């Protein structure tokens, strides 16, 4: 029998010659319990037809008649509605997705035995999810934030997940700090409001994040859309070979659409006019055949060089200079198909750096090690123990007799022997790679927290002096972006933050201090004006306005009129 694929599923012909649709899973497997004609009727969970899904059983044929619990259709619909949502992601809750492929454009067999990189021209299907980081589901997409770029490559040797960012550096290098970082960049748990004092106090206490802050408050953190942003692995990974040799690698994925950014004012305006702009832009480009693409580059580092290099290659707060580790192109990512169901695909897709394949491996990077556990654990909480069986997450091959049962287990193909090895069920073992010497460790178990070093300010200083200085207006934008955000924090927190930026460059700290106090004074004037308006009194502080016009530094001194202005959590 010949089958034709349609949006609803699979089409064939019944015994009477009528065309029938069958709902299928993503890989084409027939769902036997669901079938419907080309003009389908509505069915209950049991498969029984429903005459009118909008009607409900009542006592008496009238509006005032009470409803009955025996109305199976009504009860099932409400129960289903109550359970439509799953817990949103702790980070990267706001996101969108698309299908595409990864294509090898340069030979990489000298550094890795990964099958998906084994031949120039080879294509591997993938699913991509792009997101903001701190914002909740439904928050505006153009806000100042790090963007997440995650890719699930469906290789013949398993699923490989790349969970990357729009910035080349991260805010921490000690995994234990991750919960504090997440909490500090979310809303105040008492007020449910953004808290700028809490935000800046955290970074004042964790100044190794200064490189991250320099990127966050530049225009690079407000890209015009996902298509015009570059992507970075941030963490260091390993390319491995079957002979036991390996190389370290950091990925840089460059947009073929070029880089375009919004100013702070443009980002705010767009957030108010169209909070879904970035999702809409990606969807419309793909729908109109304007398929976005990125070229994938790797910085290859030999173990011998890594051991002696001046920068710790496992420190995600730092980048590796391209003059020492050139970018080597090897792949291209193309997105060419929109999602068919946003919830089933973009919401239920589950990424984890722990999803690796032969030829690609983790490293001792402490943040990467933490992520390898945290992502998998978060998916089990969010989607259930068998989330890997969902069509969007399912690898091409997945058989393990030791992994069994649990809620919503619908594969049922683990066999009769729930142990290994077994005399009754022969299993072929995968070919083993030789052990890499790097995996041999010898040392004492200690409690360790990294310390701030003067070297932590070297790369932020280079970013300020050599990169932003060559881009017209970008230094000024960074200063104003910081000042506008920092002005809403308490005065002592503001002063400590200005001193932190001053360690990057004295002129930078000075400019941020002046701009911040100017913004803070404007906020104080607005608060006093509001108080005078409530009292129906005229407000004309000529000396203050004159000072503002002259761009002079003015300490905030309206506490007598606005006594609550300094409370943590209060943002005006």
Catalytic residues: 92
Alpha carbon distances (Å) from 435 to 4, 440, 465: 48, 9, 44
CA 511 to chain centre: 32
In a 3-state reduction of DSSP, which class is residue 478? helix
Structure token pair of residue 434: 């030789």
* Main-chain dihedrals φ then ψ at residue 530, nearest 5 degrees: -65, -40
Strand partners, 237: 249
What DSSP element (H or E) covers 462?
Answer: helix 458-462
Pairing status of strand 123-131 against strand 231-232: unpaired
Cα separation, 427 vs 435, whole angstroms: 22
Give, as one character, the DSSP assignment of residue 330.
E
User: By C-alpha distance, which of 420, 430, 500, 496 is closest to 208?
Assistant: 500
Structure token pair of residue 567: 């409370």
Q: Which residues of 69-79 are buried (b: 16+ CB within 10 A; e: fewer)?
A: eeeebbeebee
Cα separation, 500 vs 454, whole angstroms: 12
Q: Which residues contact 187 (CB under 8 A, 6 or more apart)?
A: 193, 194, 195
22 annotated among ligand-binding-site residues: no
Structure token pair of residue 54: 């909008």
Q: Which residues contact 463 (CB under 8 A, 6 or more apart)?
A: 211, 214, 215
Cis peptide upstream of residue 342 (ω within 30 degrees of 0): no
Cα separation, 201 vs 159, whole angstroms: 40
| Long-range contacts of the stretch 134-137 (C-beta < 8 A, 24+) | 134/91, 134/185, 134/186, 135/93, 135/94, 136/88, 136/93, 136/94, 137/88, 137/89, 137/93, 137/94
User: By C-alpha distance, which of 286, 267, 270, 379 is closest to 340?
Assistant: 286
In a 3-state reduction of DSSP, which class is residue 69? coil
Give, as one character, the DSSP assignment of residue 88.
P
Structure token pair of residue 72: 């199976």
User: By C-alpha distance, which of 568, 323, 557 is closest to 462?
Assistant: 323
Binding site, annotated residues for heme: 375
């Amino acid at each position: 029998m010949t089958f034709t694929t349609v949006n609803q599923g699979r089409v064939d012909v019944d015994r009477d010659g009528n065309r029938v649709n069958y709902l299928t899973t993503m890989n084409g497997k027939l769902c036997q319990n669901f079938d419907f004609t080309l003009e389908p009727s509505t069915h209950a969970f049991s498969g029984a037809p429903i005459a009118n899904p909008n009607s409900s059983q009542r006592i008496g044929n009238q509006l005032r008649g009470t409803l009955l619990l025996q109305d199976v259709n009504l009860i099932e619909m409400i129960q289903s509605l109550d359970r439509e949502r799953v817990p949103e992601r702790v980070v990267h809750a706001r996101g969108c997705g698309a299908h595409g492929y990864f294509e090898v454009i340069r030979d990489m067999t000298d550094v890795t035995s990964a099958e998906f990189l084994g031949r120039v021209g080879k294509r591997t299907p993938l699913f991509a999810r792009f997101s903001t980081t701190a914002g909740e589901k439904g928050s505006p997409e153009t806000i100042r934030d790090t963007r997440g770029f995650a890719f699930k490559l469906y290789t013949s040797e398993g699923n490989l997940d790349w969970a990357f960012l729009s910035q080349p550096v991260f805010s921490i290098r000690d995994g234990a700090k991750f919960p504090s970082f997440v909490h500090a960049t979310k809303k105040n748990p008492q007020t449910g409001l953004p808290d700028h004092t809490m935000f800046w106090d955290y970074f004042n206490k964790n100044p190794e994040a200064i490189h991250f802050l320099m990127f966050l408050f530049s225009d690079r953190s407000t890209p015009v859309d996902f298509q015009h942003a570059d992507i970075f692995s941030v963490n260091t990974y390993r390319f491995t070979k079957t002979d036991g040799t390996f190389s370290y690698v950091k990925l840089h994925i460059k947009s073929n659409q070029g880089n375009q950014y919004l100013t702070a004012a443009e980002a705010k305006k767009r957030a108010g006019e169209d909070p879904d702009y970035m999702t809409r832009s990606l969807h419309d480009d793909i729908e109109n055949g304007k398929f976005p693409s990125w070229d994938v580059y790797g910085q290859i580092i030999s173990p011998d060089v890594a051991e002696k290099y001046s920068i710790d290659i496992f420190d995600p707060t730092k980048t590796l200079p391209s003059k020492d580790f050139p970018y080597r192109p090897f792949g291209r990512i193309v997105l060419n198909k929109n999602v068919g169901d946003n919830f089933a695909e973009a919401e239920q897709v589950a990424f984890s750096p722990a999803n690796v394949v032969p030829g690609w491996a983790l490293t001792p990077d402490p943040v990467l090690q933490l992520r390898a556990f945290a992502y998998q654990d978060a998916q089990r909480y969010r989607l259930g123990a068998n989330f890997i069986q969902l069509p969007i997450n399912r690898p091409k091959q997945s058989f393990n007799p030791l992994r069994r049962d649990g809620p919503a287990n619908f594969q049922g193909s683990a066999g009769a022997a729930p142990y290994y090895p077994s005399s009754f069920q022969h299993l072929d073992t995968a070919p083993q790679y030789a052990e890499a010497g790097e995996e041999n460790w010898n040392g004492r178990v200690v409690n360790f927290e990294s310390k701030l070093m003067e070297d932590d300010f070297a790369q932020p200083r280079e970013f300020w002096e050599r990169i932003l200085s060559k881009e017209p207006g970008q230094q000024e934008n960074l200063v104003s972006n910081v000042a506008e955000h920092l002005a809403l924090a308490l005065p002592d927190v503001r002063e400590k933050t200005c001193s932190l930026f001053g360690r990057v460059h004295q002129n930078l700290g000075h400019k941020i201090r002046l701009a911040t106090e100017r913004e803070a004074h404007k906020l104080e004037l607005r608060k006093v004006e509001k108080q005078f308006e409530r009292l129906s009194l005229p407000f004309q502080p000529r000396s203050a306005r004159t000072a503002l016009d002259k761009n002079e530094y003015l300490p905030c001194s309206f506490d007598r009129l606005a006594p609550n202005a300094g409370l943590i959590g209060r943002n005006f």
